[in-house]
Amino acid sequence: MPSAQIPAPARTNWYPYLVSTVAAVSGLLFGFDIAVINGAIIFLRQQFGLSEVQTEIAAGSLLIGCVFGAAAAGWLSDRYGRRRILIFSALLFAASALGAALPRNLDEFVVARFIGGLAVGAASVLAPLYIAEVSPPQIRGRLVALNQMTIVTGILLAYLVNWSLSFAGPSGWRWMFAAAAVPAIAFFIALFFVPESPRWLVERGMESVALGVLSRVSGAARAREEIQEIKEAIAQESGTLAELFQPGMRRALAIGVALAILQQITGINTVLFYGSVIFKERVGGQTESAAIGANVFIGLVNFLATIVALWIIDRTGRRPLLMFSAGVMAVCQLALGAAFLIQPPPAMLVLSIMLALLGAFAVGLGPGVWVVLSEIFPTRVRGRAMSIATVSLWIACVALTMTFLSLAKAITISGAFWLYGFWCVVMYVIVWRFTPETKGKTLEEIEKLWRRA
Angle between helix 140-165 and helix 106-134 axes, rounded to 10 deg: 160
Residue 266 as a binder of ligand BGC (CB under 6 A): the answer is: no
Residue 269 as a binder of ligand BGC (CB under 6 A): the answer is: yes
Task: Please give the size of the binding site for ligand BGC, defined by CB under 6 A.
Answer: 11
Residue 112 as a binder of ligand BGC (CB under 6 A): the answer is: no
Closer residue to ligand BGC in complex, CB, 230/393: 393
**Binding to ligand BGC (CB under 6 A): which residues in 301-330?**
302
Phi, psi dihedral angles at 320 (to 5 degrees): -60, -40
- Give me the residue whose beta carbon is nearest to ligand BGC: 366
Encoded amino acid at 55, one letter:
T
Task: Look at residues 253, 365, 223 and name the one whose alpha carbon lies nearest to residue 305.
Answer: 365
The whole-angstrom separation of Cα 453 and Cα 444 is 15
Encoded amino acid at 449, one letter:
L
Min dist. Cβ of residue 121 to ligand BGC (A): 12
CA 158, 163, 164, 168 torsion-angle sign: positive
Min dist. Cβ of residue 45 to ligand BGC (A): 23
**Binding to ligand BGC (CB under 6 A): which residues in 146-165?**
148, 151-152, 155
User: Which window, 144-152, 186-194, 235-243, 437-445, contacts ligand BGC (CB under 6 A)?
Assistant: 144-152
Min dist. Cβ of residue 404 to ligand BGC (A): 13
Residue 272 as a binder of ligand BGC (CB under 6 A): the answer is: yes
Min dist. Cβ of residue 354 to ligand BGC (A): 13
**Binding to ligand BGC (CB under 6 A): which residues in 383-442?**
397
**Binding to ligand BGC (CB under 6 A): which residues in 350-369?**
366
Exposed, middle or buried: residue 425 (CB in 10 Å: 0-12, 13-18, 19+)?
A: middle
Say which residues have a Cβ less than 8 Å from residue 329's Cβ, sequence separation at least 6.
266, 268, 357, 360, 361, 365, 421, 424, 427
Closer residue to ligand BGC in complex, CB, 77/266: 266
Min dist. Cβ of residue 302 to ligand BGC (A): 5
Min dist. Cβ of residue 62 to ligand BGC (A): 12
Closer residue to ligand BGC in complex, CB, 210/355: 355
Closer residue to ligand BGC in complex, CB, 260/335: 260
Closer residue to ligand BGC in complex, CB, 127/249: 127
Min dist. Cβ of residue 29 to ligand BGC (A): 13
- Please report, as ranges, the residues that interact with ligand BGC according to CB under 6 A: 148, 151-152, 155, 263, 269, 272, 302, 366, 370, 397
